């Protein structure tokens, strides 16, 4: 099988985890390649996510590295199995790969925690609200680009449906609730949509009011997705040039503390619903 030219974030993550396992165990690339029956170049491609690795070879590497964490190895093996085509693949290559990586990340998450200071969570936006957001992108998007992004954003929301839907906790700042993307009518409909979604068994929304004061990461939109084991958690941060994906131990610890802080100062779920309802009534 030929090497991939554009690995997905999930494929890159698997490769980086395998390299981390090897380096931590102080197993040289030459030794690992010999154990797997591949050359050094192919091993390098595997660790960059450019080539797939079979489950058997992955377990051989884990055993050679003396990895004692069975749950972690099993989770890596799941990542190594040939993936079925996801709904997001239909947008390749018409949308930036980062947007598709977000959808794939959410599809495999067991739990999601997000914080938003200015924007409503994309996964909970109405089509009118999302359209208003896409209309102010710099540089300006063409009509067909807006249509593609809108369709993709609406399909992303399917991940919160069904019996196997992940648990979702969204911490939304009062500033985001008071923003009027698309005008008052659109803003009111968006808040009403949040109230409806917050009644679902797997969705919890909590509001950070202005009076809560300062908090870490002000202005940053952050999505913390939990994997099958803590080592495979991922942080996705929005930036002006596209999404960034973070998975280092120190980075994960930092953002876990960030979310713990935000949850401490946010209103409880029931009070948050009342708060959102109050803002909607005055629009």
Q: Tell me, what's the pLDDT at 159?
A: 97
Q: Does 186 have pLDDT greater than 70?
A: yes
Q: Tell me, what's the pLDDT at 66?
A: 96
Q: Tell me, what's the pLDDT at 2?
A: 58
Q: Does 1 have pLDDT greater than 60?
A: no
**In this structure, what token pair is assigned to residue 235?**
């942080």
* β strands within 70-179, DSSP E: 111-116, 167-173
Give me the architecture of the 9-80 domain, per CATH. Answer: Orthogonal Bundle (1.10)
Q: Tell me, what's the pLDDT at 5?
A: 75
* Tens digits of residue pLDDT in 28-43: 999 999 999 999 999 9
Domain covering 91-281 in this structure, CATH number: 3.30.870
Q: Does 80 have pLDDT greater than 60?
A: yes
- Cα 110 to its chain centre, rounded Å, is 11
Q: Does 60 have pLDDT greater than 90?
A: yes
pLDDT level of residue 4 (50, 70, 90 thresholds): low
Q: Does 204 have pLDDT greater than 70?
A: yes
> DSSP character for 136?
T
Kindly state the average pLDDT of the residues 262-273.
Answer: 97
Residue in 77, 71, 62, 51 with CA at minimum distance from that of residue 21 = 62
CA distance 182 to 201: 29
Q: In what side-by-side order are the strands of the sheet with 222-226? A: 203-208, 167-173, 111-116, 222-226, 234-237, 244-246
Residue in 66, 27, 68 with CA at minimum distance from that of residue 47 = 27
pLDDT level of residue 242 (50, 70, 90 thresholds): confident
CA distance 283 to 278: 9
Q: Are 281 and 177 in contact (CB under 8 A)?
A: no
Delimiting residues of CATH 3.30.870 domain(s) in the chain = 91-281
Q: Tell me, what's the pLDDT at 216?
A: 87
Q: Does 182 have pLDDT greater than 70?
A: yes
For the chain, give the percent of residues with pLDDT over 90: 91
* Tens digits of residue pLDDT in 144-157: 999 999 999 999 99
**In this structure, what token pair is assigned to residue 123?**
């996964």
Q: Tell me, what's the pLDDT at 75?
A: 98
Q: Tell me, what's the pLDDT at 220?
A: 79
Delimiting residues of CATH 1.10.260.40 domain(s) in the chain = 9-80
Kindly state the average pLDDT of the residues 83-106.
Answer: 94
Residue in 196, 94, 78 with CA at minimum distance from that of residue 141 = 94
Question: Structure pTM?
Answer: 0.94
Mapping DSSP to helix (H, G, I), strand (E, B) and coil, where does residue 246 land? Answer: strand
* Tens digits of residue pLDDT in 161-174: 999 999 999 999 99
Kindly state the average pLDDT of the residues 123-139.
Answer: 96
CA distance 201 to 116: 21
Average pLDDT over the chain, rounded to whole? 95
């Amino acid at each position: 099988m030929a090497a991939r030219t554009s690995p997905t974030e999930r494929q890159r993550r698997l490769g980086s985890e395998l390299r981390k396992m090897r380096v931590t165990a102080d197993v040289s690339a030459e030794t690992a390649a010999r154990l797997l029956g591949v050359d050094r170049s192919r091993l390098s491609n595997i660790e960059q996510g450019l080539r797939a690795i079979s489950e058997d070879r992955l377990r051989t590497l884990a055993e050679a590295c003396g990895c004692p964490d069975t749950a972690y190895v099993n989770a890596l093996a799941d990542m190594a199995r040939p993936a079925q085509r996801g709904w997001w693949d239909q947008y390749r290559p018409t949308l930036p790969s980062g947007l598709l990586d977000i959808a794939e990340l959410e599809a495999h998450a067991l739990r999601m925690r997000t914080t938003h200071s200015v924007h409503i969570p994309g996964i909970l936006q109405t089509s009118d609200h999302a359209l208003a957001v896409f209309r102010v992108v710099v540089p300006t998007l063409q009509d067909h680009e807006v249509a593609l992004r809108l369709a993709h954003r609406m399909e992303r929301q399917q991940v919160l449906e069904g019996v196997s839907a992940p648990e979702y906790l969204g911490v939304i700042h009062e500033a985001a609730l008071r923003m009027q993307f698309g005008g008052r009518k659109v803003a009111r409909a968006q808040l009403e949509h949040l109230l409806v979604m917050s009644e679902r068994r797997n969705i919890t929304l909590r509001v950070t009011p202005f009076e809560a004061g300062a908090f870490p990461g002000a202005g940053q939109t952050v999505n913390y997705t939990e994997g099958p084991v803590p080592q495979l958690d991922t942080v996705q941060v929005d930036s002006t040039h596209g999404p960034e994906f973070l998975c280092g131990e120190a980075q994960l610890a930092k953002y876990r503390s960030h979310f713990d802080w935000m949850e401490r100062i946010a209103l409880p779920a029931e009070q948050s619903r009342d708060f959102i309802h109050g803002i909607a009534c005055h629009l």
